[in-house]
């Protein structure tokens, strides 16, 4: 149920963002775009680390703040110099986002294929067990006190001898 918390936060954020009239100054749009890219990079990096079983919350949080601060500082220095250096951060985060997203996709497809393989093997094992049970049920049962081999030897030979 922990997964409901981010979904509720996303829905609340979308609702408030839609109905609250918050104006972002034009000079801050660069910094906002870098902040969004840094957060998405950290989220996708964390999901990728979960699939690779290497997730560490300290690494994710420190990476988020370090990336955001470095990208913000790069954009600020670019503004002071009259250059658009924030494009470097946007490009880097964009490449990392697509790289992480492709790795997440590969892990999800591999997990799906593995689960399907295990499901098929499980069903095949159940079918084999059912076939063995059916073959045991179709064999004639032994009469009490008479062995199966004795019955075969007695069939049709009672009048002889």
- In whole angstroms, give the CA distance from residue 10 to residue 73: 28
pLDDT bin (cut points 50, 70, 90) of residue 157 is low
Residue 145 has pLDDT above 90, yes or no: no
Give the mean model confidence (pLDDT) for residues 112-120.
93
pLDDT bin (cut points 50, 70, 90) of residue 95 is very high
pTM of the model: 0.64
- Give the tokens for residue 24: 């972002």
DSSP result, 106-146: HHHHHHHHHHHHHHHHHHHHHHHHHHHHHHHHHSPPPPTT-
pLDDT at 161: 47
Query: How do residues 3-58 score in pLDDT, each as one tens digit?
Result: 788 888 889 988 888 888 888 888 888 888 888 898 889 889 988 998 888 988 89
């Amino acid at each position: 149920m922990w997964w409901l918390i981010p979904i509720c936060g996303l829905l609340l954020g979308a609702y408030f963002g839609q109905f609250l009239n918050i104006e972002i100054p034009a000079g801050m749009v660069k910094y906002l775009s870098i902040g969004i890219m840094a957060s998405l990079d950290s989220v996708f990096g964390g999901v990728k680390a979960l699939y690779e079983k290497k997730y560490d919350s300290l690494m994710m949080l420190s990476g988020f703040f370090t990336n955001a601060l470095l990208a913000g500082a790069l954009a600020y220095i670019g503004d002071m110099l009259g250059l658009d250096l924030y494009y470097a951060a946007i490009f880097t985060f964009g490449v990392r986002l697509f790289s992480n997203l492709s790795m997440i996709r590969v892990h999800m497809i591999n997990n799906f294929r593995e689960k399907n393989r295990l499901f098929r093997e499980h069903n095949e094992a159940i079918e084999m067990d059912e076939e063995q049970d059916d073959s045991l049920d179709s064999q004639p049962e032994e009469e009490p006190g008479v062995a199966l081999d004795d019955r075969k030897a007695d069939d049709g030979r009672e009048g002889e001898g």
